[in-house]
Structure 1
Amino acid sequence: MQFRGLKIKARLYFRRCRKYLYHSILHADDPPHKLALGVALAMFVMFTPTLGLQMIITVFLAWLLRANKAVGLPVVWISNPVTFVPIFYPCYVVGCWLLNQPPQIDSSFWTRLSTPPSGAGIQHYWDLFKGVAAPLWIGGIIVGTLLGALTYFLLYFSICRYRMRRWGQLVPPKPRFRH
């Protein structure tokens, strides 16, 4: 019985979040290009193995390319320790395929990762990461570029279409206050 209540609360929470994100993107006071570019940059950065630095990189790239800084941040939050494997493993496989090398991640890799030898420090994890770093970076950059470009075009045309239907112009109208 409690599970059902939790499920309903989660559904309402995600519905509110989705509504907020739609509203903040579609009604932001920026041209469609800046909004779409901000989300596309975040999509690109999300697929790079830079956990912990992704927000900083996204804001820096958005500043550098004059994109909207705020709309991309929720996209980067999708990439977190819980979603690490479903996001980065396909990037790793693509990188291995491009480098023409077999994937090195198997059950023994996960065993070595979860149970380090006694007395092993950070060097043990660094050695494990060095074996998968090149394919992960190359695959992440390729997948991030493709999905970032796709996101840009889909979002750009969606925002333009929505705004033209809603207001007849691409920039939201200024609010009119009565005194």
Structure 2
Amino acid sequence: MPDHDKIRNHVQLNRVFGNLLHDPNLLHLNRRSVSSAFAVGLFIAFVPVPFQMLLAAAAAIIVRCNLPLAVALVWITNPFTMGPIFFFSYKVGTWFLGTPIRAVQFAPSWEWFSSELGVIWQPLLLGSFVVGLVSAALGYGVIRLLWRLRLRNYLRDRRLRFSLRRRDQDANNVDK
């Protein structure tokens, strides 16, 4: 984890976020900060904009969740997965809007962005928003559930160890 004092005392970050940087949840791992970081990171991962890491960092600071985890989760959409993920989001958007899926050949050029993106931006944006919301809600819920199950198992094992230790102590006291 990064040094909390270094982040808290960063001049530019302090100008933008002020006292929000003083929240301990930004770098701590607890149920609330981790589940919220999953929600933030997964939602931002499906937003089709550049600089997703900066957006996730700002959202994590505002929501007061684990900053490194939220930033790391946006890498779900990386150069290898971006195409299939955004095509799926586009398909979801066309389904919601009731429009046909256009056969679009991607070409990383200004001409493509100016012509094709102007046609597909509505279903892409809507689909990205829907898929992002669903994945954020699922990520949040699954992490909360897994955390609760882990805690329940830990407490059950601790009670079992305590009862075994007590039984052994009682057996030793009877023998004396």
Fold agreement, TM-score > 0.5: yes
The TM-score normalised by the length of structure 1 is 0.65
- Alpha-carbon separation, structure 2, partners of 1:29 and 1:161: 20
Q: Quick check: which has more Rg, 1 or 2?
A: 2
- Cα gap change, 1:124 to 1:157, in 2 (>3 Å): closer
In structure 2, do the counterparts of structure 1 residues 72 and 88 end up closer, same or farther at CA, with 3 Å as the change threshold? same
Partner of 2:113: 125
Q: Percent identity?
A: 25
For 1:151 and 1:30, locate their aligned partners in 2 and report how far apart those are by CA, in whole Å: 16
1:69-80 superposed matches below 5 A: 69-80=67-78
Runs of 4+ in 1 over 4 A off after TM superposition: none
Q: How far apart are the structure 2 equivalents of 1:70 and 1:124?
A: 34
Richer in helix (by share): 2
Kindly indicate whether residue 155 of structure 2 is the aligned counterpart of residue 150 of structure 1.
no
Cα RMSD after superposing both structures:
2.1
Higher relative contact order by CA 8 Å / sep ≥ 6: 1 or 2? 1
Residues 102-123 of structure 1 deviation map (CA, whole Å, 9 limit, x = unaligned): 111x2xx31xx44x9xxxx624
Residue equivalent to 1:46: 45
2:30 maps to a residue whose letter is P
SS in 1 for 2:79: coil
TM-score, structure 2 as length reference: 0.66
What is the total number of aligned residue pairs between the two structures? 130
Name the counterpart of 1:33: 32
Give ranges in structure 2 of 5+ residues lacking alignment: 1-26, 157-176
How far is the alpha carbon of 1:164 from its aligned partner?
4.5
Residue identity opposite 1:129 in structure 2? L
Alpha-carbon distance in 2 for matches of 1:66, 1:166: 27
